Structure 1
């Protein structure tokens, strides 16, 4: 993208926080956050992230920094979170390269579980303020009226577009999750193939640390067991692959989940998929081209005792 398309505040921000102005724009991604890869005038490559300031970013960046300091494969933050109007902004090292690890087989699931177990073990020693509210795809604990967390631009759409089985699945999964009574821990909730890069079967980078959450460990592992293979549209791996993910995770963490935690993990495996299918439906795709939820909901709910 041309440099003159940069946000007005960004060149001065880079000079103030990084000591050099942008010389080239390497990429720009706009989702919930705005992510801009820059080459600065001093020759260094950095990534600047800006997102609406909901109070979560400071904890997320602080946790990311501590893991990077310990050698975990993630980009090292170069600045603290800085308020720019209504935005929370920080810069981090550019950690490019690597490939996605495709597939959703049990064998692939085990590789993803190994990284997730390492990530959760590292986060267990990090103390930051809980990054609340949780990301909406794991925000089953919200206090908003109704089933789903309040998202104005979704809530104003015709909710009848959401298939009844999606609503029922989300209601049953959420009911089981809210009945858990388990302690919350700091964890990573955006565990999708598109957010990880590998060199062969060796992890090279875990990106998108705005996805940190404050939920029970079993719920975070369960959600990850349902999202690890996702690239783009709503996705669920086969039940056998989620089962392999959860078994490997427990082995690596050296602790077996209780029967209740097993149920919570299976309930949590459904919520992100239900959130995604609802999103697609409210954007006019009903059902989505490859709906992963309908064929698996009954078995996952059975395992969740929901």
Structure 2
């Protein structure tokens, strides 16, 4: 439920940006949302999406620049309509075109792995010439090297919870994966850091919209692909994709780019494939939620760690 005071602030911002109209909160299809989404229907007949979240103004502005570049290149995404603005001391707001067509795909078959990986390869190619600067630290579910030097990125509310609820094996795997990923000197590129099925929409086999552009990151290409290969099947409840689905995703990404990953890139991809599941398994443990990601992590971690060169 959006606070009344928040809604009033957003309505006032929309009035200034688009004139009079109707603001409607949009309920998320999946849990764990880090932003509030609204639909604003202006009296001029224009529908826009308005997004509010606690974030750096500079980071969101950079994300919007890259999103606009991708939209101009014909990538299936909403087009930003405003720059980022400070709504409150701790909140940033911006607007983009409203796109609601297409359906979320639920499955882990190889055809979907190929479609999803090819779409990611297309985006990375579009953004290839863009400098991987201004994006700051990655979102927590893909942040394995926080600037604080801690294992997990800082989050006061989460950190205040009983950390003993997190199984030691989760922390142990996270330490090993973090160490492997921080050792690499592979160059940074720009890519999407939350490549889950819940953020993609399709019409049949054709992509209609990629959402969540404030999750752009500057990381090694193999790490972006690897994290996506582990998370791409996640819909309303995040999980870890089956091993064979992740392998198909990585293989198809290589085919789409016409370049095979090096041995190191392969290891980095498999290491990164574990991090979103580690983040989600920690959250499940702290909030005492059903162990969806934790169960898959427990089953798959040994094989994925071996492929990552972690013994």
TM more than 0.5: yes
2-side partners of 1:2 and 1:296: how far apart?
38
User: Is 2:257 the counterpart of 1:253?
Assistant: yes
Which runs of no fewer than 5 residues in structure 1 stay unpaired?
none
User: In the alignment, which of 31, 34, 38 is matched to residue 32 of structure 1?
Assistant: 34
Alignment partners' CA distance in 1, 2:81 and 2:109: 37
Cα distance, 1:160 vs structure 2: 0.9
Provide the rounded CA distance (Å) in 1 between the counterparts of 2:4 and 2:262: 56
CA distance in 2, matches of 1:249, 1:277: 26
Map residues 70-219 of structure 1 onto 2, 5 A cutoff. 70-86=73-89, 87-127=91-131, 129-219=133-223
Q: CA deviation at 1:128?
A: 6.2
| Residue 17 (str. 1) matches residue 21 (str. 2) | no
- The aligned counterpart of 1:234 is 238
Q: What is the deviation of 1:104?
A: 0.7
Following the alignment from structure 2 to structure 1, what is the Cα–Cα distance between the partners of residues 45 and 224? 39
Q: Distance in 2 between matches of 1:52 and 1:21?
A: 26
Aligned pair in 2 of structure 1 residues 253, 60: CA closer, same or farther (>3 Å)? Answer: same
Q: Distance in 1 between matches of 2:215 and 2:14?
A: 24
Say if 1:297 and 1:289 are closer, same or farther in 2 by CA, change over 3 A.
closer
1:273 is matched with 277
Report Cα offsets for 1:221-248 as digits up to 9, x if no partner: 0000011100132311111111111111
Displaced runs of 4 or more, over 4 A = 1-6
Q: How far 1:206 sits from its partner (Å)?
A: 0.1
Say which SS state the counterpart of residue 7 (structure 1) adopts.
Answer: helix
Change (3 A) 1:128 1:65: farther
User: TM-score of the superposition, structure 1-length normalised?
Assistant: 0.94
Q: Does the 8 A contact of 2:133 with 2:218 survive in 1?
A: no
- Check whether the contact 1:47–1:91 (CA below 8 A) recurs between aligned residues: yes
Q: CA deviation at 1:10?
A: 2.1
Q: Which moved more, 1:294-303 or 1:252-261?
A: 252-261
Deviates more, 1:190-199 or 1:51-60: 51-60
Q: Is the 8 A contact 1:3 1:24 kept in 2?
A: no
Residues 111 and 201 of structure 1 are in contact (CA less than 8 Å); yes or no, is this contact kept in structure 2?
yes
**How many Å apart are 1:269 and its aligned residue?**
0.1
Q: What is the deviation of 1:290?
A: 6.8
Aligned to 1:44: 46
- What is the count of residue pairs matched by the alignment? 305
Q: Distance in 1 between matches of 2:293 and 2:180?
A: 29
TM-score w.r.t. the length of structure 2 is 0.92
Look up the SS of the partner of 1:244 in the other structure: helix
Report if the CA contact (8 A) 1:105-1:238 is conserved. no
Secondary structure of 1:219's counterpart equals: helix
- The Cα shift of 1:3 comes to 12
Q: 1:267 to 1:290 in 2, by over 3 A?
A: closer
